[in-house]
Homo-oligomer: A and B are copies of this chain.
Amino acid sequence: MTRPTIVQLAQAAGVSPTTVSHAFSGRRYVDPDTKARIVTLAQEMGYRANPTARRLRSGGGGSIALVSSMPFAVAAGPSRLGFLMEIAAAAAVTALSRSTTLCLVPPLERGSQLEALDVDGAIVVEPALDDSVLDFFFERGVPVVAIGHAPGRPDLPAVDLRSTETARLLLDHLGGAGWRVGLVTGLQRRNSYIETEAAYAAFCAERGLASAAIRIDERGGEDEAAVAVEAFLRQNRDIGALCVPVDAFAAGALRAAAALGLSVPDDLRLATRYDGMRARLASPQLTAVNLHLDQVAETAIDMLTGLIEGRAASPKPIAPPLLVERASSARSSS
Residues of A within 8 A of B (CB): 1-3, 46-56, 60, 62-63, 65-66, 72, 75-76, 78, 81-82, 85-86, 88-93, 96-99, 101-106, 112-120, 139-142, 277-278, 280-283, 310
User: Do residues A140 and B72 form an inter-chain contact, with CB atoms below 8 A?
Assistant: no
Residues of B near A3 (CB, < 8 A) are 141
Known: A85-B81, A118-B55, A280-B78. A141 touches B106 (CB 8 A): no
User: Do residues A92 and B118 form an inter-chain contact, with CB atoms below 8 A?
Assistant: no
Residues of B near A310 (CB, < 8 A) are 1-2
Known: A72-B93, A96-B113, A102-B103. 15 other contacts (CB 8 A): A46-B139, A48-B140, A63-B103, A66-B104, A75-B89, A85-B85, A85-B89, A88-B88, A91-B104, A96-B106, A96-B117, A97-B113, A101-B105, A101-B119, A102-B104
Question: How far does the Cβ of A8 sit from chain B's closest Cβ, in whole Å?
Answer: 14
Instruction: Report the bound CA distance from A102 to B67 in whole Å.
Output: 12
Known: A52-B52, A89-B72, A118-B62. A103 touches B106 (CB 8 A): no
Residues of B near A140 (CB, < 8 A) are 46, 48
Q: Which of B55, B89, B105, B118 contacts A106 (CB 8 A)?
A: B89
Known: A118-B62, A282-B281. A86 touches B76 (CB 8 A): yes
